[in-house]
A and B are shown apart, each in its own frame.
Chain A
Amino acid sequence: MDERYVRQIILPEIGPQGQERLARAGVLIAGVGGLGSVTALYLAAAGIGHIKIADHDSLEPSNLNRQIIHSEAFLGQPKVISAAIRMKALNPTIRVTPVQTRISSANIDALLDGVDIIVDGSDNYETRQVLNRASLRHGLPFVYAGVRGFDAMVSSFVPGRTACFECIVTGGEAPSGRGPGIVGPAAGMAASFQAMDTLKLILGIGKPLENRMVCIYGLDMRIHCVNLISNPQCKACGKLYNPDKRI
């Protein structure tokens, strides 16, 4: 037994077979900002065999209050490089593929080659719409999270089993300037929930956040779980619309 994973392999829900499954899994982390910083570290540490990270940005000083995978020495460098180096330092046994690109409907299908789960690390509605449509087209779970201020929300959208992201979130303003204010722990809480659900979805254990959305209110330390249902009029997955149609 690999000593690295012993504390999770001794869990009956995981065991050696579960660890094997994690090693065979491929995950796309769509953005290594506040969310992706934390999911990338936890999923690398857990031994996900292949993690692709996609982000077009370079590291800026205003990222460092929450994007804890990066460090000051990498200012001005591509975030995917900074993140990949840190992930490989944490766990050299996994494969990490950094892709410096702006995720769009033109490149998402290529990014999903060999991927089993899409983990949201984006910071705007449009990218999440691209990820949601790709999730529906390819039948891959989309583990969404979003953060603002002290608050966060998380849900896992699984094609054929749950509502989709666009059933529930119908739009959003494009980020302006440097984006909304965010404290690091809000992103960290959401990302930890995402990492937990990603492991569960790969392992087929427990109850993932399917048709449920956890809302975390950091200032009040209140957590609320909303039950979700599909919207038959959804533009992405509703019967009136064609999920194969690209946006």
Chain B
Amino acid sequence: MRIQLNGIKEIIPEEMTIKALIEWAKEGDPHLIVEQNGKYIYPSAYDGQAVFENDTIEFINPNLGG
């Protein structure tokens, strides 16, 4: 299915959860921030939260430099 991930159109496997998408994208940051269609997703919800066709998803790595 087609989604928009961090502003870029991506084709990803069907029936994915946020957790699976994080693994698919090889996103390794344990402190990742996830937003799905403008909504912040709690880390505790990654496993149960499904990804749908045309979703807009942002993976945000917290920046801690200064």
Contact = CB atoms under 8 A, between A and B. Distances in A.
A180 B61 CA distance: 13
A121 interface: yes
B65 A224 contact: no
Given A220-B7, A224-B7, A229-B40, A123 B66 contact: yes
Interface string A24-39: 0000000101111000
Choose among B35, B39, B61, B65 the residue with the greatest number of A CB atoms under 10 Å from its CB: B65
A228 interface: yes
Interface string A201-240: 0000000000001010000101010111101010000000
Interface size class of A (residues with CB under 8 A): 35 or more
Interface size class of B (residues with CB under 8 A): 10 to 19
B13 interface: no
Contacts of B33: 168-169, 213, 226
A226 B66 contact: no
B63 A148 contact: yes
Nearest to B41: A229
Contacts of B43: 170
B44 A153 contact: no
Interface string B2-40: 000001000000000000000000000011010100111
A229 B60 CA distance: 15
